[in-house]
Chain A
């Protein structure tokens, strides 16, 4: 076998092996998306009920709460960025990071100091590499987040917002995550969690045009709000974590699908080249034989005379 042909054969073998791996990863990701989507759907009733309750307290009482009132001049803000632990998901992580950086730039332009909180090793690695300060980070659960994980993340954030700005607390809490729109579309979005914009929450919950009744609060509106808001933040973070996980799996699936397709194309091209090389080799051998035998025939014909 010619040297050229051997090289082609070897490359075909290695690309075939790669294709098998990416195909397997694609299938794993596909099954995980479905599972993650189911979890997003399962968390929806809790989130809707909680949003309804928050709206009810927020609109049904004149309670002032640090988590619902905007500071007149906000000077410090926290940004929570949700990324994944592992890569191989196309532009998933870089999109989220880019969105967070735009948000940070915007907040800084408004004259606010920004504390960054990060979920996921990828985002953390990005910030560490650039030696930027990260207030706190979590990782290890981004593939399948549980409610306990969301609580773990929400704890320090709620603490920071309840603290006075002068003691290192923050006035605002923003979250950047990847919204799961469909299997094909996932977009990095940013949103302000706190202080609550009641109008927005209201819009979300009363899309059906229902009128909220006048509630009796047990024990009191303030206490209910005190207990309710942290849960609301936790549930929002939980929902964002779940969506981010589903998006990550969908992005992985897509990236691995195109990798598999590419490998297939590469194999086709390489086999064509290998076939051409083989043909050239055969043609060369034939012409060598023909040429040799012709020379031999000429020589014998000459010696006969």
Chain B
């Protein structure tokens, strides 16, 4: 059996996803980082973007993370995000509408949020 690490993805108001995984890829402020079981203890700042989790049964979970942290120790990985959404929860049409509206109004934050959502869905 391949080594596994335990992942807990928590948003400010709920636990979004937790389970066993073999690989987690996230984007920190200094570049993409992949965490596999047995990684050195790590604490990093996340960029808004999709986080990919390869679960131990071979499936892939993609999550949109809007700012947050990644911390890894003792084979336990926690992803802390103010807002996090599973790719399945994202309403593509709504995100597209949001993106257009944000572009029209020049609302950078909203545009980024919508962009992250769409990228997450595309990465699924």
CA distance A214 to B13 in the complex (A): 28
A235 x B43 contact (CB < 8 A): no
* Given A46-B12, A49-B80, A52-B71; A219-B29 close (CB under 8 Å): yes
Q: Does A177 contact B (CB under 8 A)?
A: no
Which chain B residues lie closer than 8 Å to A49 at the CB level?
8, 10, 71, 78, 80
A228 x B29 contact (CB < 8 A): no
A224 x B45 contact (CB < 8 A): yes
Q: Does B108 contact A (CB under 8 A)?
A: no
* In the complex, per-residue mask of B64-92: 1 if CB is within 8 Å of any chain A CB, else 0: 00001111011000101011000000000
* Given A42-B15, A45-B15, A213-B73; A218-B43 close (CB under 8 Å): yes
Q: Which of B13, B40, B43, B82 contacts A39 (CB 8 A)?
A: B13
* In the complex, per-residue mask of A20-54: 1 if CB is within 8 Å of any chain B CB, else 0: 00000000000000000001001101100110110
B43 x A224 contact (CB < 8 A): yes
Shortest Cβ distance from residue A218 to the other chain B in the assembled complex, whole angstroms: 3
* In the complex, per-residue mask of B14-40: 1 if CB is within 8 Å of any chain A CB, else 0: 110000000000001110010000001
Which chain A residues lie closer than 8 Å to B102 at the CB level?
none
A147 x B82 contact (CB < 8 A): yes
CA distance A218 to B32 in the complex (A): 11
* A45 to chain B: closest residue by CB: B10
Which chain B residues lie closer than 8 Å to A46 at the CB level?
10-13, 80
Which chain B residues lie closer than 8 Å to A219 at the CB level?
28-30, 44-45
Shortest Cβ distance from residue A240 to the other chain B in the assembled complex, whole angstroms: 14
The CB with the most chain A CB atoms within 10 A, among B10, B15, B30, B42, is that of: B10
Q: Which of A45, A53, A151, A231 contacts B43 (CB 8 A)?
A: A53
Q: Does A175 contact B (CB under 8 A)?
A: no
Shortest Cβ distance from residue A225 to the other chain B in the assembled complex, whole angstroms: 10
A216 x B41 contact (CB < 8 A): yes
CA distance A234 to B68 in the complex (A): 13
Which chain A residues lie closer than 8 Å to B15 at the CB level?
42, 45
Shortest Cβ distance from residue A86 to the other chain B in the assembled complex, whole angstroms: 23
A238 x B30 contact (CB < 8 A): no
* Given A216-B40, A224-B45, A227-B69; A42-B82 close (CB under 8 Å): no
* A221 to chain B: closest residue by CB: B43
Which chain B residues lie closer than 8 Å to A45 at the CB level?
8, 10, 15
Which chain A residues lie closer than 8 Å to B13 at the CB level?
39, 42-43, 46, 146-147, 238
A56 x B43 contact (CB < 8 A): yes
Shortest Cβ distance from residue A144 to the other chain B in the assembled complex, whole angstroms: 11
A57 x B8 contact (CB < 8 A): no
Shortest Cβ distance from residue A140 to the other chain B in the assembled complex, whole angstroms: 18
Which chain A residues lie closer than 8 Å to B69 at the CB level?
50, 53, 224, 227-228, 231
* A226 to chain B: closest residue by CB: B45
* B80 to chain A: closest residue by CB: A49
The CB with the most chain A CB atoms within 10 A, among B14, B42, B45, is that of: B45
CA distance A100 to B27 in the complex (A): 43
Shortest Cβ distance from residue B59 to the other chain A in the assembled complex, whole angstroms: 23
CA distance A234 to B14 in the complex (A): 15
Which chain A residues lie closer than 8 Å to B41 at the CB level?
213-216
Which chain A residues lie closer than 8 Å to B8 at the CB level?
45, 49
CA distance A66 to B45 in the complex (A): 19
* In the complex, per-residue mask of A225-251: 1 if CB is within 8 Å of any chain B CB, else 0: 001100100110010000000000000
Shortest Cβ distance from residue A238 to the other chain B in the assembled complex, whole angstroms: 6
CA distance A215 to B73 in the complex (A): 8
Interface pairs (15), CB distance under 8 Å: A42-B14, A43-B12, A49-B78, A50-B69, A147-B83, A150-B12, A215-B73, A216-B43, A217-B42, A218-B70, A219-B30, A224-B69, A227-B69, A231-B80, A235-B12
Q: Which 5 A-B pairs have the closest CB atoms?
A: A218-B44, A213-B41, A147-B12, A219-B30, A215-B43
